[in-house]
């Protein structure tokens, strides 16, 4: 959803998704193509072991369209949907929101909470350390 900021420039303001809307978007992103309701029903069943009625998914697609996440076009007798927002953009926005909402914009507190609460094993800790070392090297 695009809204105008105080300077009159368009800025992206993502409306947070419900769990079901997020699962539908994950399926749409993973399909990596325009998708019909039938495609989404199949993907939801396969990915999340969830069954929905066609009308339920159609209603959710209307919500996602109204929130600015998808667009659609009618082809033959079916609506075909495609994402307007990439999975990476959504992830980035949700990470920023959680960082702000729960960690007062403190990235070190966020990382510490992940490590303390999820208790990664030695192999995962080594991988995290490698990622941080590579990132620090890029900084110069």
Two structure tokens written together for 117 = 């609460």
Q: Residue 79's beta-bridge partner residues?
A: 74
Q: What are phi and psi of 94, to 5 degrees?
A: -70, -35
**What does DSSP assign to residue 17?**
P
Q: Which two tokens stand for residue 124?
A: 């995962």
pLDDT in tens, 50-97: 999 999 999 999 999 999 999 999 998 899 999 999 999 999 999 999
pLDDT at 10 over 70: no
Instruction: Determine the distance from the C-alpha atom of residue 18 to the mean position of all C-alpha atoms in its chain, rounded to a whole number.
Output: 11
CB 1 within 8 A of CB 14: yes
């Amino acid at each position: 959803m695009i809204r105008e900021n105080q300077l009159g420039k368009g800025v992206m303001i993502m409306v947070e998704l419900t769990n079901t809307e997020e699962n539908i978007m994950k399926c749409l992103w993973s399909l990596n193509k325009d998708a019909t309701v039938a495609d989404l029903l199949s993907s939801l069943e396969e990915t999340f072991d969830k069954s929905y009625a066609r009308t339920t998914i159609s209603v959710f697609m209307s919500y996602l369209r109204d929130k600015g996440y998808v667009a659609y076009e009618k082809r033959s007798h079916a609506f075909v949907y495609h994402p307007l927002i990439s999975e990476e953009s959504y992830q980035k926005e949700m990470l920023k929101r959680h960082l702000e909402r729960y960690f007062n914009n403190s990235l070190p507190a966020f990382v510490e909470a992940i490590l303390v609460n999820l208790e990664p094993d030695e192999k995962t800790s080594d991988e995290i350390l490698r990622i941080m070392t590579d990132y620090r090297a890029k900084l110069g």
